[in-house]
A and B are shown apart, each in its own frame.
Chain A
Amino acid sequence: DQQVKQNSPSLSVQEGRISILNCDYTNSMFDYFLWYKKYPAEGPTFLISISSIKDKNEDGRFTVFLNKSAKHLSLHIVPSQPGDSAVYFCAATVGNYQLIWGAGTKLIIKP
């Protein structure tokens, strides 16, 4: 039973444009949502997070939006750069310690 879903396995975006990565969840008890970025042959690295009591969090080029009624969050990257090409994982926490992960979306930034 997938509690965190990333329905797009891949996304291709032109350099300089906006990249929008989506994530849906089923568990209304999740208290934090996190985005991680992963390059090949490396471990995931933390990008940005949002508390379930907020609807937006921004950090430089990265903004995460949370729509609790729709159980949906999205990561916006503006402007997209070649170095943003990676796999992006959405994850959520419920209680202490445990992260529940989506399957990831591979973002390809075209020059």
Chain B
Amino acid sequence: DTAVSQTPKYLVTQMGNDKSIKCEQNLGHDTMYWYKQDSKKFLKIMFSYNNKELIINETVPNRFSPKSPDKAHLNLHINSLELGDSAVYFCASSQYPSGPTGGIQYFGAGTRLSVL
């Protein structure tokens, strides 16, 4: 039973379209994250929610909007997709963001987004 699952795994779409990526965790964690892994393989935090409240909102185009209907779900909606949005997007969750081990995050398998 997958702890952090995100769908779809692959997403191929045209420029200008709107798309969503869904993420669900069954670990009972309070905090969820969205990361973007760019072409240089850096993992960059985009957003973080704690108990449905936005706590991290990095410099991300406002075409990206996270939605957390409950603490087990954090979806990512992207409007007017651009070529530069092509990347792998990872969802993650954690229970103790500043606990004794430093806030271990558990990741989904990633969604590879290709914008044509």
Residues of A at the B interface (CB closer than 8 Å) are 31-34, 41-46, 49, 51, 87, 89, 91, 93, 95-99, 101, 103-104
Majority secondary structure of chain A interface residues (helix, strand, loop or mixed): strand
Contacts of B40 in A (CB 8 A): 103
How many residues of chain B have a CB within 8 Å of chain A?
27
Pairwise interchain contact A97-B103, C-beta atoms closer than 8 A: yes
Task: For residue A53, give the distance in angstroms from its CB to the closest CB of chain B.
Answer: 11
Pairwise interchain contact A98-B104, C-beta atoms closer than 8 A: no
Pairwise interchain contact B102-A31, C-beta atoms closer than 8 A: yes
Task: Check B64 for interface membership: any CB of A closer than 8 A.
Answer: no
Pairwise interchain contact A103-B41, C-beta atoms closer than 8 A: yes
Which of B14-22, B43-51, B66-74, B78-86 binds A? Answer: B43-51
Task: Check B113 for interface membership: any CB of A closer than 8 A.
Answer: no
Contacts of A96 in B (CB 8 A): 97-98, 103
- Given A41-B110, A97-B56, are A46 and B43 neighbors across the interface (CB < 8 Å)? no
Residues of B at the A interface (CB closer than 8 Å) are 4, 31, 40-45, 48, 50, 55-56, 90, 92, 97-98, 100-110
Task: For residue B109, give the distance in angstroms from its CB to the closest CB of chain A.
Answer: 5
Pairwise interchain contact A43-B101, C-beta atoms closer than 8 A: no
Contacts of A101 in B (CB 8 A): 42-44
Contacts of B48 in A (CB 8 A): 97-98
In the complex, A45 Cα to B101 Cα: how many Å?
14
Pairwise interchain contact A43-B109, C-beta atoms closer than 8 A: yes
In the complex, A98 Cα to B98 Cα: how many Å?
9
Please list the 8 inter-chain residue pairs (A to B) with the smallest Cβ-Cβ separation, ordered nearest first: A32-B102, A43-B107, A101-B43, A97-B97, A96-B98, A46-B104, A49-B101, A96-B97
